[in-house]
Structure formats: structure tokens, C-alpha cells
A and B are shown apart, each in its own frame.
Chain A
Amino acid sequence: MSLGMVFAILGAALSTALAGFGSAWGVGIAGQAAAGVVSEDPDQFAKVLLLQLLPGTQGIYGLLVTFITLSNIGILGGEPITDVNKGLMYLFACLPIAIVGLVSAYHQGRTSVACIGLVAKKPDQFGKAMLFPAMVETYAILSLLVSILAVTNIK
């Protein structure tokens, strides 16, 4: 296996690993808060479940970038990489979703925890509570777009 291929696979692995790590943390911490609310008020289950799931999207974005990368570098399809520079390009193309996915999932998890507390006290404010963690999502989506554009345009 060429060094270029090693870099490209590293990029693919990092996008799933780091974004997935962030999502696991975010969903986990929001899940603890959700469990606390449901233990006292089971009627809020559906609302807090949605808030818990929000930090989970980064992991999916990372997975998507990994699939696209693997489809381009000769693992799931495309031509195998022999050039080191090209391998490095794939690695750097994967970094936006890997890094921003990790950081945004962490912050989205904490925002979800705060918003679960908001729903616990004022269930009728659920709509507004959903917006706050959704704002953090913006940056995960931006990094996903950059990673997809970069990976698909490497010639």
C-alpha cells in the first residue's frame, strides 16, 4: 500500500472517529439530562428525546464523508491512490468535518443539556428550546459541505 493511500485512509478514519466521538459524548450527556427529566416527568419523554438526538448528527456527517472518501480512493470504488500529495489532499479534505464535528457535537451536547432543563421547567417552550442546539448544527453542516466539496473535487 502506498503512503498516499495511508494518508487518504487516515483522513477517512478521522472523519468518522472524531465526529463520532463528539456525537457519542454529546448524546451521552444529553441522555443523562433527559433521564433526569423523565424520572420526574415521564410525559416529557418525546421532547427530551429529540433534544438528546441533536448532537448525534455529527457522527452521521463524519460517516458520510468517510464513505465518499473510500469510494474515491479505491477501497469502495475509484482509482487506488499512488501519489503522496493526493493522499494528503484527502486527509486535509476530511479534517473540517473531523475537527468541527468533534467540537460542535461537544458544544451541542452541552446546549442540549441546558435546553432539556428549559423543557423540564417550561414544556411549552419546546419549540424555542430546539432552536438553541440547532444553531450549533450550522457549523457542523458548513464543515460537512466543505469536506464533501473538497473530497469530491480532488483530481
Chain B
Amino acid sequence: MGDLDYVYAVARIRVKEKTLLSDMDISQLVGMSDAKSVLNYLVDKGWGDTSASGGPDAVLAAEAQKTLELVKELKLDPAVFDLLAYPNLYHNLKTGIKEICTSESNAAAFYPDEKYGREQILRILKDKDYKALPEHMREAAERAYSVMLETRDGQKCDVIVDRACLDAMEAAGRKQKNKLLRDYVESTVAVTDIKIAVRALRTGKSLAFLKEALAPCSSIDVRLLAVAASENEDALLGFLETHGFREASEALKDSPSAFERWCDNRLIETIRPQKMNSVSMGPIIAYYLARQNEIKTVRIILTAKENGFSEEATRERVREMYV
């Protein structure tokens, strides 16, 4: 489909964008006294399924489902839709491997998916029918499953699957004609690499671990990042400052939650120009990602309220909104 084939869809998205939560809405939510008030405010705004009041999880799940249905209805290119679903797909794979190897069932941990939901993933793994998976997942699935069976090392399994996910996203992103998608994938891979490096530094992981976990991408030299993260925090901060990630370095100095916030805000910065785009699939992708960011932020606020976090501590964790 050409850019002009998305005119109808983009016009619908423009109307939908009016219902997205703004920074002011989020600020209001953070200032509320408890999770119930937050939920009531959202339900008044049309969140959740009015026929069922199943609590925060049901409301957030209903919103995620609504977004998914809208994007499907707008006939987004299936290849693009698949690419956006990669993280969920690989998450389901990890969860499936762990469920089989630990015999602990947790159906709620899976993302719903028509082709690769809980039942399908479990069947594929049990039958070792890796050919039923998308090509980019097969090798990682086989390796991670056998490592988990042999060593019961969940972290190693995670590293294999997460790295495969980043590699697959990077490869698929490079083939995309749409600039937003290319930028989104590049930004996601780079930010995830930085996140991995930070966590590895804080848990004292080796250089070998970092080399295995970090996925190459064009905006960051992962070999240098791995070396810096295997040394000390100053080396990592120095690397970030000299390689175009000064804000990440400042956020890291501030606090771990400020760093997590920076990671998500960077993604929002990537998609924000789509607000001015009236054709192409860009605004649809941006809306989908903005909704995910919105749901994630609301989840953070609800969790903070349920656990009695102060307003200040909650505010530090909330993400910037798209509108």
C-alpha cells in the first residue's frame, strides 16, 4: 500500500488521538489519593469494558484489546503489524519454555495471540515442532529450550531469546520503507542494549555475558558498550556521554527509575513527529505505540497507588505522553 492509501485510517486516528491521555491527565492521576480514584477517572473517560468491572487488570487488558482491534481494522500492513508484535511473541516463547521446564503454569503471563498464544507455544515446544514458529524464532527457540532443559538457568534462556528478538527486530526494521518504523526499531534496539548494559554492570556480569546479550545496531557500538559496562559505572557513563546518549547518562546518575523513564520517553520522542503527518502508516504506528506507553504509565500509577508510593516517587516514574 502507498502512503496515500492510509488517508482514511490517519483521519480516524486523528479523532482517536483526542482521547489519548495528556501530560496534564497523567499529572492529575498521580495526584489522586488511591488506585480506586484513578480507575474511576479512567472509566469516566471511557476506559475498560463498561459491561464488566473486573478491576485494574481487566480495564487495562480491555484497552490493549481495543487498540489492537482498531489497528487491525485500519488494515495496517501485516508485516508491520508482525514487527510490532515481536516483543510479545518472544515474551510468549520465554514464558512457554519456563512453564514447561518448571511445571509452573501461569496463563496470565502470556500475551493473547491468535497464532502464537499459550496453547500454540506450549504445543510447539513439547512437540519440538520449531518449523511452526516464524523463521527468525526457530533457532533461538531450540537453543533456549535445550539450555533451559539442561541447565535450568532462566537467565541464560532470557538472554538467548531477548537477543534473538532484538536481532529479528533490527533485521526486519532495516527492510522497512517507512522511516518511523526504521527509527522506532533502531531506537528500541539501542535503548534495550543500554538497559542491558546498565543492569549487567549493576549485577557484575562479565564481558562475555555482555557480548552475548547485546544486539548490534547502527546507532551504538555494542563492542565498546560491552567493554565500558564490564569495567565500572564511570566508564559506562563516559561511553554514553561521548556517544550521543548524554541524557541517558544524566538519568542514570539521577536514579534507576529516571533512567527507565528516559528509555520510554526516547521512544515517544521518536514517534512525536507523526502528529504532523497526514498520510502514510506512520501515525497509525505512532498511535499504537502511544497507547502502549499510555497503558504502561497507567499501570505504573496504579501499582504505585496500591503500594502506597508518595506522589513524588510516582511522578518520577511516569512517562511523557504522546499528545
Q: How many of chain A's residues have a CB under 8 angstroms from any CB in B?
A: 17
Interface majority SS on A: helix, strand, loop or mixed? helix
Given known A29-B4, A113-B278, A113-B279, contact A36–B11 (CB-CB < 8 A)? yes
Q: Which residue, of A35, A41, A117, has the highest number of chain B Cβ atoms within 10 A?
A: A117
Decide: B16 and A36 in contact? CB cutoff 8 A: no
Q: Does A95 sit at the interface, judged by CB under 8 A? A: no
Given the complex, which residues of A lie within 8 Å of B9, measured CB to CB? 36
Decide: B17 and A36 in contact? CB cutoff 8 A: no
Nearest residue, chain A, Cβ from B12: A36
Shortest beta-carbon distance from B149 to chain A in Å:
50
Q: Does B8 sit at the interface, judged by CB under 8 A? A: yes
Given the complex, which residues of A lie within 8 Å of B177, measured CB to CB? none
Q: Does B18 sit at the interface, judged by CB under 8 A? A: yes
Q: Does B14 sit at the interface, judged by CB under 8 A? A: yes
Decide: B10 and A117 in contact? CB cutoff 8 A: yes
Decide: A36 and B18 in contact? CB cutoff 8 A: no
Given the complex, which residues of B lie within 8 Å of A32, measured CB to CB? 7-8, 11
Given the complex, which residues of B lie within 8 Å of A35, measured CB to CB? 8, 11
Decide: A121 and B11 in contact? CB cutoff 8 A: no
Shortest beta-carbon distance from B74 to chain A in Å:
9
Q: Which of B7, B12, B278, B279 contacts A40 (CB 8 A)?
A: B12
Decide: B15 and A37 in contact? CB cutoff 8 A: yes
Q: Which of A41, A110, A113, A114 contacts B15 (CB 8 A)?
A: A41
Q: 4 more A-B contacts (CB under 8 A) besides A36-B11, A37-B15?
A: A33-B7, A36-B10, A37-B11, A121-B17
Binding site for A on B (CB under 8 A): 4, 7-12, 14-18, 278-279
Binding site for B on A (CB under 8 A): 29, 32-37, 39-41, 110, 113-114, 116-117, 120-121
